[in-house]
Amino acid sequence: MIFMLSDYGLDGPYVGQVEAALARAAPGEERISLFHDLPPFRADLAAYLLPAYSAETQPEGSIFLCVVDPGVGSSRRAIALEADGRWYVGPDNGLFAIVARRAKSTHWWVVSVPGQAASASFHGRDIFAPAAARIARGEMPAAELGDASCEGEDWPDDLAKIVYADRFGNLMTGIRAAMLGQGSTLTLNGRALDRATTFSDVRPGEAFWYENGNGLAEIAVNQGSASVEFKACVGNAVEVLQRGGMGVGE
């Protein structure tokens, strides 16, 4: 099964072209568009979403075609990561840094460029999709690496920033809720937020934070938009006032 995650968005031709490339190269392989509005150009933020939506929720043997690639066409490598039996294919820009750090077992591979010419600006279609299809067919990438690039090595284990805003205005952080004490408070743009279990635990219009369905600490407003309420967007910092949890970084 091939899962696709990117910052392409659902408007325009890009996702469809990648799906067509996968259909040609791996006919019959099930494909799922999991996440196509990752933070545009921000591999450093998307890296905290990948574990929550892949390694911690999908079965071993899954293949994740991941594209957040502002350096497309540059000298950055195309790589594949095998982490605890799951495969990740995409650019070597730190996108897989947190997945790899949390995995018990990892192997890195260079992805070879297909025989036909690849465009300079659409490696998702021309390099990463064919590589994911080859893995799905049981073929290995070109050459195993000792490690990947150093980018992301100094990133924190959990990131105290907003990494995603959904259509309801809920704001996901890069912090695993399990790393926070039960009584921990999050502060966003100067306002302190207490923890609740779910939306109905607070009054309509009241802001809070909670553990979302994929284990991340998320800021929300019951029947409202946290993005509007806090005038907040992706990349904004969140302050953590810990009570019994573990440290997080910015």
Residue-wise pLDDT for 17-61, tens only, equals: 999 999 999 999 999 999 999 999 999 999 999 999 987 788 889
**CATH class of the domain defined by 159-241:** mainly beta
**In the chain, pLDDT over 70 holds for what percent of residues?**
92
Is the domain spanning 2-145 CATH 3.30.70.270? The answer is no
Q: Which of 71-80, 105-114, 159-168, 208-217 has the lowest mean pLDDT?
A: 105-114
Q: Is the pLDDT of residue 73 over 70?
A: yes
**In the chain, pLDDT over 90 holds for what percent of residues?**
81
Average pLDDT over residues 113-132: 90
Dihedral class, residue 10 (left if φ above 0, else alpha if ψ from -120 to 50, else beta): alpha
Whole-number pLDDT of residue 246: 52
pLDDT in tens, 139-187: 877 676 766 666 888 999 999 999 999 999 999 999 999 999 888 999 9
Count of alpha carbons within 13 Å of 196, Cβ hemisphere only? 15
CATH 3.40.50.10790 domain span(s) along the chain: 2-145
Q: Indicate the pLDDT class of residue 114, thresholds 50, 70 and 90.
A: confident
Q: Indicate the pLDDT class of residue 78, thresholds 50, 70 and 90.
A: very high
Which is higher by pLDDT, 217 or 139?
Answer: 217
Helix axes 14-25, 129-136, angle to 10 degrees: 30
Q: Copy the structure tokens of residue 247.
A: 């440290």
Look over the chain and give the mean of its residue pLDDT values, rounded to a whole number. Answer: 92
The H-or-E segment that residue 160 falls in is strand 159-165
Residues 203-236 as b/e (b if ≥16 CB within 10 A, e otherwise) read eeebbbbbbbebbbbbbbbbebbbbebbebebeb
CATH 2.40.30.90 domain span(s) along the chain: 159-241
Q: How far apart are CA 91 and CA 139, in angstroms?
A: 19
Whole-number pLDDT of residue 149: 60
Q: How far apart are CA 59 and CA 136, in angstroms?
A: 14
In which residue are the tokens 């540059």 written? 74
Cβ 50 vs Cβ 65: under 8 Å: no
Whole-number pLDDT of residue 57: 81
Whole-number pLDDT of residue 247: 55
Q: Is the pLDDT of residue 244 over 60?
A: no
Whole-number pLDDT of residue 125: 96
Measure CA of the first residue to CA of the last residue in the chain; give whole Å: 34
